[in-house]
Structure 1
Amino acid sequence: MVNPDIEIETLAEFDQVVARGSLSGYRIQSVNLLERTFALLAADTSAAVFLGCAMEPDAAVKVRADGALVFPPVPDLPFNPYRGLLYSPEELFTGLADGYEDTPDAEAYAWFQETKSDGDVFSSMLRSVHDDAISDALDEHLCGVRVVGVMGGHAMARGGTDYRGAAELGRALTRSGLTVATGGGPGAMEAANLGAYLAPAPDEALAEALEMLAKAPSFAPSVSDWARAAFAVRERFPAGGDSVGIPTWFYGHEPPNAFAGHIAKYFANATREDGLLARSNAGVVFLPGAAGTVQEIFDNGTPNYYESRGEPAPMILVGRTHWTEHLPAWPLLQALARGRAMESRIALVDSVDEVPDVLASMS
């Protein structure tokens, strides 16, 4: 018999299930069970799988004897490959007061730099297991949610009109009931997550937040100062709205922003890019960007081009001059769309102010 929900990701969930007497068939994911030895000794753990769960030796012996599979925690890693939940900004930036270099985010990037080319199958396996766990957590978090992706360049500086416009867009989309998802980094990505964060706050909160952030306009030369400014805004306006950031350690020079309430950070950038676009079921908005954003346009356009079973999710490019003259992606996208199902699902607009209405007209 298959359990309707076989994943256990918190100690509270474990206690609820084990009270019924059986863990058979469950997947217990990264739960500290050192204080649940008696419960493990008493419960049926046949066909269970324990992923990175700390437990006492006698408990581990017993569950293995029951027929459970036990994948023990991996020591001396700056990340948990078996994690069951998405990251929070507070988790990734723990220790920021002493400098970004000592945070879990920076330590994970340093580990990646040391191991990405060492040819060690164990290191590559750990990265793959971690990224798969993140994808699982992301799917659970977004289940039944209408997601709109907001793409754009990392170089957009705080304090500029483009940054403000991206923040206003994120706020408007969130207030319309959509969940904003971005690449999770700085620039346009941070601005959209900021807008989503401030969606529950009065309109004037955005102007105050932008003024605070402008004191550290870029993550260069100091990621520490850049991140501290963001946490100062979070402290000034607590209980912000939720959004998702999907960054990567592949681009370690781009730190994650602190305004996404849930962060799905990957080692593999290809997995991150594809996952972000595939989960944007309510549409994707492309703000002015460079190579990365152009790649995302056509990464998203390809499955839309071949879509034959229904209506592809909308694609809206913002910035007529940028996408027709500076980086003329729009004419090529139009040519690809001609005669296809996606033809009526793409749009080019001049400013972010037009996006909510255009998106609504395509829904």
Structure 2
Amino acid sequence: MSGKGEKKRGDKYRGPVMMRRSQIDSGTTDQRLLDSRGPSDWVHTDPWRVLRIQSEFVEGFGALAELGPAIGVFGSARTQPEDPFYAKGEEVGRKLVEAGFAVITGGGPGAMEAANKGASEAGGASIGLGIELPFETGLNQWVDKGINFRYFFARKTMFVKYSQGFVVLPGGVGTLDELFEAITLVQTQKVTSFPVVLMGVDYWSGLLDWLRDSVLAEGKISEADLDLFTLTDDVDLAVRLMVEAREGRGPTARAPKQPE
């Protein structure tokens, strides 16, 4: 099947470097950075890695500095085109663009591809922040401006710096990591508070019930922490919250319940 920016199967990206066939290895740059086992030569090589890390920040800041208002969209790479949430992701991307936002995703397949597709087809800025992984193959075909990162922490910085809010579609461990990191940064006042919308009442309700009935009940979080989420199936509500936050109107968070 042909399509915009289509890439052959089997490609692997390590930052700006593309590898195929015998050149593909099973490790990642993050793995090598964080692994202190084995020989002590890491003592001598790690300082040089700082230059590579620095280059990722420079490339990211340079590429996104003039992006304008943007919303990060998270979701599973495993979401199939026939899944209702793929169509929901396209709607999210399209309506965010219509409201004057750029759309930033992780650049992968599934829900990320859907949001990029909606944004690109609507004529907006469709951004993908890719990451070197052993089981994914670069940016999806609907990314119009993409950056491939070696290091998760550099990539996450770009999400937080250039997004004014987040829409979180159903996803797995990676999506949960991105969701809770965003909430932690708001909770600890490391970033200016921004709206976080969980899209999919049936999917996310169990998580919020556990947070309320177990985590809150045990005193591990406060009631106000639950107000950092908005839970809905309504794309128009999600977009409206982003617009209100951009314009400084009303609170940037809503209680975790489905709107009446």
TM-score by length of 2: 0.71
CA distance in 2, matches of 1:317, 1:246: 21
Change (3 A) 1:257 1:329: farther
Shift of 1:274: 3.9
The alpha-carbon distance between structure 1 residues 277 and 114, as it changes in their structure 2 partners (threshold 3 A), is: closer
Cα distance, 1:133 vs structure 2: 1.9
Indicate whether 1:177 and 2:100 are aligned: yes
- Cα distance between partner residues in 2 of 1:253 and 1:327: 30
Give the drift of 1:295: 1.6
Call closer, same or farther: CA 1:113–1:152 in 2, change over 3 Å: same
Partner residue in 1 for 2:144: 261
1:118-172 deviation digits (Å, cap 9, x = unpaired): 8665876676534432322221232252121001111101232210110111111
Is contact 2:10-2:20 (8 Å) kept? no
* Deviation (angstroms), 1:194: 0.9
Correspondence for 2:202 = 321
Q: Distance in 2 between matches of 1:178 and 1:327?
A: 28
Higher RCO (CA < 8 A, seq sep 6+) = 2
- Counterpart Cα distance in 2 of 1:329 and 1:182: 27
Q: Tell me the amino acid that sits aligned with residue 241 of structure 2.
A: V
Q: Which residue of 2 aligns with 1:197?
A: 120
Q: Which residue of 1 aligns with 2:156?
A: 273
Kept in 1, the 8 Å contact 2:12–2:24? The answer is no
Matches within 5 A, 1:202-281: 241-249=124-132, 251-255=133-137, 256-280=139-163
Aligned residue for 2:107, secondary structure, equals coil
State the identity as a percent: 25
Rounded to whole Å, the distance in 1 between the matches of 2:28 and 2:179 is: 32
Q: CA deviation at 1:245?
A: 0.9
Q: Which residue of 1 aligns with 2:27?
A: 113
Matching residue's letter, 2:24: A
Query: What is the CA distance between 1:329 and its match in structure 2?
Result: 6.8
Equivalent residues of 1:127, 1:267 under 8 A apart? no
Closer/same/farther in 2, CA of residues 126 and 162 from structure 1, 3 Å limit: farther
Residue 83 of structure 2 aligns with which residue? 160
**Aligned mates of 1:349, 1:242 — CA distance in 2:** 25
Partners in 2 of 1:279 and 1:270 — Cα distance? 14
How large is the RMSD of aligned CA atoms in angstroms? Answer: 3.6
Moved more, 261-270 or 179-188: 261-270
Mapped to 1, the partners of 2:143 and 2:114 lie a distance apart of: 10
Residue 55 (structure 2) aligned to one of 129, 133, 136: 133
Provide closer, same or farther for how the CA distance between residues 101 and 347 of structure 1 changes in structure 2, counting only shifts above 3 A. Answer: closer
Aligned letter for 1:141? A
Deviation at 1:286, TM superposition (A): 0.9
CA contact (8 A) 1:197 1:260 kept: yes
Whole-Å separation in 2 of the counterparts to 1:126 and 1:246: 24
Give the 3 Å change call, closer, same or farther, for CA 125–252 of structure 1 in structure 2: farther
Aligned to 1:58: none
Q: Where do 5+ consecutive residues of structure 2 fail to align?
A: 33-37, 247-260
Q: What is residue 148 of structure 1 aligned with on the other side?
A: 71
Please tell me the residue identity of whatever aligns with 1:321: D
Corresponding residue number in structure 1 for 2:258: none
Higher strand share: 2
The correspondence of residues 53-92 of structure 1 with structure 2, limited to 5 A, is none
Consecutive unaligned residues in structure 1, runs of 5 or more: 1-88, 201-240
CA distance change for structure 1 residues 114 and 154 in 2, over 3 Å: closer, same or farther? closer
Task: State the alpha-carbon separation in 2 of the partners of residues 268 and 155 from structure 1.
Answer: 22
Q: Counterpart in 2 of 1:352?
A: 235
Give the secondary-structure state (helix, strand or coil) at the position aligned to 2:148.
coil
Deviation at 1:257, TM superposition (A): 1.2
Contact persistence 1:153–1:188 (CA under 8 A): yes
Secondary structure of the residue aligned to 2:24 is: helix
